[in-house]
Chains A and B, each alone.
Chain A
Amino acid sequence: DADVTQTPRNRITKTGKRIMLECSQTKGHDRMYWYRQDPGLGLRLIYYSFDVKDINKGEISDGYSVSRQAQAKFSLSLESAIPNQTALYFCATTSSMGLSTGELFFGEGSRLTVL
């Protein structure tokens, strides 16, 4: 089983619908992140969380919200999806120990299409 699991892996939805992407990890990491990937733009940070009570906005948080339900779970919500939120979404984790040396561990990605 993957250390970082994202559900759903693929989702097609319509404009205006509420969507939740879920992420769970078994690595015991305290820090969790949500990124979106668009062609030609690389990965951009949406939200990140240092622990259950610490949530921070990233570069592109407008139109998104998050919830850190437990240390191992971090979900991303689109309250009212729009077509330009069509993208590949990644959850990632890392440990706060040795911050600048620690790589991010990524989930397999959730491909979201908003029609």
Chain B
Amino acid sequence: AQKITQTQPGMFVQEKEAVTLDCTYDTSDQSYGLFWYKQPSSGEMIFLIYQGSYDEQNATEGRYSLNFQKARKSANLVISASQLGDSAMYFCAMREGPNNDMRFGAGTRLTVKP
């Protein structure tokens, strides 16, 4: 069964606007970690933000925030004031279980329009 689901294969946003990228996850563990990575066209994987399952506050890192809704098992990424350089693939990921290996969603390709 898919552990991480990203339902938006592609998204468009106007420059300077905010955008939300959806992510839902499936786990029976109480302790887990949620991550977002950015992959620009150059291919490297860039860590953006982390949310722990016990964290009561939503994580924020600059223009990135994670809208964590534990009961709904969702961990949406919000990018405020989009910039052209935000155009990239975005992956949601989760670490859980005794081995704590990280599993990824299929990704969302974000295009920022000028």
Contacts and interface: CB of A to CB of B under 8 A. Distances in A.
Interface of A: 33, 35, 40-45, 48, 56, 58-59, 88, 90, 92, 99-101, 103-106, 108-109, 111
Interface string B1-31: 0001010010000000000000000000001
Interface of B: 4, 6, 9, 31-33, 35, 43-45, 47, 50, 52-53, 91, 93, 95-96, 99-107
Contacts of A40: 9, 106
Contacts of A92: 45, 102
B99 A56 contact: yes
Question: Secondary structure at chain B's binding surface: helix, strand, loop or mixed?
Answer: loop
Contacts of B106: 40-42
Nearest to B102: A104
Nearest to B34: A100
Given A100-B96, A106-B44, A106-B45, A58 B91 contact: no
